[in-house]
Chain A
Amino acid sequence: MTVNGLRATEEHRDRPTATITLDGRLDALSAPDLRSELRELDASGCHNITIDLDDVEFVDSAGLAALVSAMKACRMGGGELTLVRPRSADAFRVFELAKFDAVFDFVER
């Protein structure tokens, strides 16, 4: 899907793991769409989710909040949320500023 400059690609939705690949901006405009996708995954029983932020250029606090919500939902379901670290230093800095660089489980693509 492409909504407001954010593109999410879902894979393996019918299995208990899923990868969502984002690019563009994860901000207050696009975060509700990500939340909606994550809610669907949660409802379908998928609690091991990887969100690939490699191509994301901008993340704001609303995007961060959507990821926090996803992490909580995954843990509540007995799974884990993994984030692929954004290539853009600007996009990653928001995690550092909000002290979430140590909270999320980041991997390199």
Chain B
Amino acid sequence: MPETSVDEVSDLLADALVEANDRLLGLYEILRQPVTAGKLSELAETMPSVIRKTSGALGFAALAADGQFAVDAPGLPTTCLVEAAAGRWGEGIVTGDESGLDVDLLIRRSADGGRYVFAADDIGAPFVRFADAVVATMAGFVAMARLHRQELEMALVEQDARAAAAISAAALTTVPERAFGIEAAARCDPAQIGGGDLYVWIETDDRVVFGVGDVAGKGLSAAVVMTMITEAIGDIALSSEDLGPAAIIAQLARNRYRYLTRTGLFVTLALGVWSPTAERLVVANAGHSPVLTVDENGPRRIPPSCPPLGVLRDVEPVDEVIDFGPGTLLVIGSDGLVEQEDREGHPLGCERFVESVLAAGAARPSDLIRQLFELAAHHAADRQDDDRTALVLRRALSAEPASDDLVLPADLIELRRLGDWLYNRVALLDPEADTALIASQIELAVHELAVNTILHGFAGQPGEIRIALERHGGSWVIEMTDDAPPFDPLQVEMPTGLQEHGYGVMIARAIADSLVHEARDGHNHICLTVSNEPKSVAARKGMP
């Protein structure tokens, strides 16, 4: 073996390092390519050239599993590389003698089932190792690109859903619990990718126009159309007091036909008009379901009298006059409630929806809606396929005397009934009193005490709170009775500093002239008195 000088060894090492460094730079060059889904096609054009040059190959070709072919092999017959990538010689090294080319080929299987082909004069072990490093790098590269694409798609879907929810929520109005001699409630729970359901409540001096609609489709496009339809209903309804629901629907269908056909969407819509002075309720239905009334004769569905908006330009919906006597109920839901499927794919169905309405009896509209939504959520095992929307009206029982006592189940949502009951009770007991002021002050005090009872007394257990209100001299006397384990809210320590709890009793004390708790006969009794001019208000009057 010839002797090698130190200088020669240094040169060899330097050459090897330069060569190795070039190849490392080659891998680096591959990895530094921007991995974004939108640039995959661009990369397919540039990558073969990068790989060929940095590997020292004469040519490089890649055939993806989906048939996409990329090559950079100047001076070599492309068809031969295509055949190699297509599997003519399988994987491994193919000599020039076998392929008929002047160069050898190294063929490797890619991670996605395609093939890479390297063409070189002499394919030795170093070249094979580098080529395998390239293949491995490319596998990671493709995986990253796919992951990025998926994340990008998910982010876009989420962004779309958020925007749709915000647009939809902004278009929805508030429905008063009591107005024009009717009790009312509405609720819309959008699905994760929702945005198509709507409800409207448009009041004028003499009437209220209300309804529920559903834009076919989901996401941002449905939300935009939903907003447009909601605004358009308001514009038409306010343009003339003479327009009934059928006329509003007909005008809407005509005005928006071109827009809806261009967007490829249609809208189901049930609209109603309640005129309290005429005591007249009229409903028209354009392809919407479910719509039903319930009175002493039982439930009755109001079927569509014309197709949804966007199907025909000229429609002739029919105004249906509803016999809306005291206690009569009108329920307009959406398909997200009745068509909600369970885990086995069985829809809730109209029959169960109607059964639930009947089972609710004389429940307030807000309570009925809560029960309907709970039914759908239970049926769905807490999944939600579509927006859920309902609007419920009940003709108030004006002839019904106010109940002496209010009995509330131990549930925070039940406390929302307190205000109306107190208002009616105060008005009944003292027509001369400042009803709204007295009722609101008593409501706040009783509400705070009742929250304590529900959260700390019942602590999740079922139970009831009975509330009685009487007028004695210049004061209002409120008695609250519950059967929770003995719990004296007055023992709650008053807050000091900026603590986050304990203000409830403090507020009740600030309103009531006296506040007493007593545990007897297995019940908690709380008695509070509030003067006809509550001290909370009197104190404010005295403030500078």
Contact = CB atoms under 8 A, between A and B. Distances in A.
Interface residues of A, number: 31
A28 interface: yes
A29 B188 CA distance: 17
Contact of A29 (B413, B440, B444, B540): B413
A24 B443 CA distance: 15
A62 B413 CA distance: 14
A2 interface: yes
B348 interface: no
A2 B455 contact: no
Interface residues of B, number: 35
A23 B451 CA distance: 21
B187 interface: yes
Contact of A103 (B455, B498, B537): B498
A107 interface: no
Contacts of B170: 9
Contacts of A90: 440-441, 444
Nearest to B511: A97
Nearest to A72: B498
Interface string B280-296: 00000000000000000
Interface string B489-522: 0000000001111011011001100000000000
Given A2-B187, A23-B174, A28-B455, A93 B444 contact: yes
B536 A98 contact: no
A2 B169 contact: yes
B187 A64 contact: no
A97 B165 contact: no
B366 to A, nearest CB: 8
Given A4-B413, A60-B504, A68-B498, A94 B444 contact: yes
Interface in B337-369: none
A2 B172 contact: yes
Given A4-B413, A90-B440, A61 B448 contact: yes
Interface string A1-36: 110110101100000000000011101110000000
A43 B174 CA distance: 31
B416 to A, nearest CB: 7
B412 interface: yes
Interface in B428-483: 440-441, 443-444, 447-448, 451, 455
Contact of A94 (B166, B172, B498, B507): B507
Nearest to A65: B500
Contacts of B416: 5, 25, 29
A9 B536 CA distance: 32
Contact of A97 (B174, B440, B501, B510): B510
A40 interface: no
Nearest to B186: A2
B415 interface: yes
Contacts of A60: 444, 447-448, 451, 504, 507
Minimum-distance CB pairs A-B, first 5: A61-B503, A61-B504, A97-B510, A90-B440, A65-B500
Interface of A: 1-2, 4-5, 7, 9-10, 23-25, 27-29, 55, 58, 60-62, 64-65, 68-69, 71-72, 90, 93-94, 96-98, 103
Interface of B: 165-166, 169-170, 172, 174, 187-189, 412-413, 415-416, 419, 440-441, 443-444, 447-448, 451, 455, 498-501, 503-504, 506-507, 510-511, 536-537, 540
Given A27-B447, A68-B500, A97-B536, 18 more contacts: A2-B169, A2-B172, A4-B413, A7-B172, A9-B166, A9-B169, A25-B416, A28-B455, A29-B416, A58-B443, A60-B447, A61-B448, A90-B440, A93-B441, A93-B537, A96-B536, A96-B540, A97-B506
